């Protein structure tokens, strides 16, 4: 495939992803984003139509009766948000055993969050990282800016020396670079160790949300005889006999422990955490995460 053909293919994927993300935001996500991330402020500002996921307690019943459809009270926000999408594009991100790779799943989640933020008037920025920070796009407003970020997520190609994963370097970069408090979505498979101290340092300075991208084949080996497994980040290869029940059981235990470890670190530092899968509806899992955030805000 030539460079021009590759660019055309990526742009087609960006366009399809844009249409899907805009539809999902419009139909079912915008209200939950606002409830989860916007401060309610102190002063009444205006009315707007109710959107799925909005807090019912803000419905103004007089205006609703007059207009014939639900309207909620808007409040003047105390501050403008900066949302930073920190996306892992290391070698393991290009793995996918179903329709999507982990990188494509991450791009979809980033698109939904980016268009939600843009529609709410918030600034959105991007950090791409692997073994080190690769690209930083400062936060700005607008849907064209979001489209540029999606394109960068799908097109970026780390050099071989960068294809490892360093959550630590990504966190350190954000701590040094972001001058004001921001909402940071760390989107990765978190195949890195250690992650405890780096995420803890980031969470103390910025509101941090962890989106863990997983593929079903990484969690459970199929019974497929002798196969060669290759680490996409180091190139290391090993032949294993997947017919061995003890091996499969040990592998599943190891991967379950890794996932539980990420959850435990997030819980320790007060980081909201969701696991997104390449073979499942990622919007549903994002919904669940934002609903939990909205409930915590109203307690």
pLDDT in tens, 105-149: 999 999 989 988 888 888 999 999 999 999 999 999 998 999 999
Prediction pTM value = 0.81
Given 25, 54, 76, the domain boundary residue is 76
pLDDT score recorded for residue 118: 86
pLDDT score recorded for residue 42: 44
Residues 57 and 202 in one domain: no
Given 76, 97, 123, the domain boundary residue is 76
Residues 68 and 129 in one domain: no
Q: 41: pLDDT confidence band, cut at 50, 70 and 90?
A: very low
The mean pLDDT value of the chain amounts to: 85
> Each residue of 246-260: pLDDT tens digit?
999 999 999 999 999
Overall residue count recorded for the chain in this entry: 299
Given 76, 100, 130, the domain boundary residue is 76
DSSP three-state, residue 85: strand
Q: 43: pLDDT confidence band, cut at 50, 70 and 90?
A: low
Range of the structural domain that residue 54 is part of: 40-76
Within-domain flag for 17 = no
Q: Is the predicted pLDDT of residue 296 greater than 60, yes or no?
A: yes
pLDDT top residue among 51 and 127: 127
Share of residues in the chain with pLDDT > 70 (%):
86
Tokens representing 98 are 């179903």
- Whether cis (ω within 30° of 0) applies to the bond prior to 194 is yes
Q: Is the predicted pLDDT of residue 10 greater than 80, yes or no?
A: no
CA dist 131 to 39, 186, 191, Å? Answer: 35, 15, 11
DSSP three-state, residue 210: strand
Report how far residue 4's alpha carbon sits from residue 117's, in angstroms, rounded to the nearest whole number.
Answer: 31
Mean pLDDT for 1-16 is: 65
Residues 72 and 91 in one domain: no
């Amino acid at each position: 495939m030539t460079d021009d053909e590759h660019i055309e293919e990526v742009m087609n994927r960006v366009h399809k992803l844009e249409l899907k993300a805009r539809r999902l935001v419009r139909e079912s996500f915008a209200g939950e984003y606002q409830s989860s991330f916007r401060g309610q402020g102190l002063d009444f500002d205006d009315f707007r139509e109710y959107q799925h996921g909005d807090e019912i307690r803000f419905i103004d019943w007089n205006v609703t009766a007059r207009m014939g459809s639900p309207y909620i009270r808007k409040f003047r926000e105390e501050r403008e948000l900066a949302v930073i999408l920190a996306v892992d594009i290391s070698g393991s991100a290009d793995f996918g055993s179903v329709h999507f790779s982990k990188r494509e799943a991450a791009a979809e989640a980033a698109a939904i969050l980016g268009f939600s933020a843009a529609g709410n008037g918030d600034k959105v920025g991007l950090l791409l990282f692997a073994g080190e920070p690769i690209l930083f796009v400062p936060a700005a407003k607008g849907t064209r800016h979001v489209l540029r970020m999606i394109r960068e997520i799908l097109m970026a190609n780390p050099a071989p020396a960068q294809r490892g994963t360093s959550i630590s370097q990504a966190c350190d970069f954000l701590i040094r670079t972001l001058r004001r408090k921001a909402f940071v979505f760390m989107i990765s498979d978190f195949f890195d160790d250690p992650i405890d101290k780096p995420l803890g340092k980031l969470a103390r300075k910025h509101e941090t949300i962890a989106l863990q991208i997983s593929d079903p084949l990484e969690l459970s080996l199929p019974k497929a005889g002798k196969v060669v497994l290759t680490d996409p980040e180091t190139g290391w290869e090993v032949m294993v006999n997947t017919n061995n029940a003890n091996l499969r059981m040990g592998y599943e235990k190891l991967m379950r422990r890794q996932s539980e470890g990420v959850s435990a670190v997030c819980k320790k530092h007060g980081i909201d955490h969701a696991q997104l899968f390449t073979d499942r509806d990622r919007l549903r899992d994002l919904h669940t995460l934002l609903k939990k955030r909205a409930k915590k805000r109203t307690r």
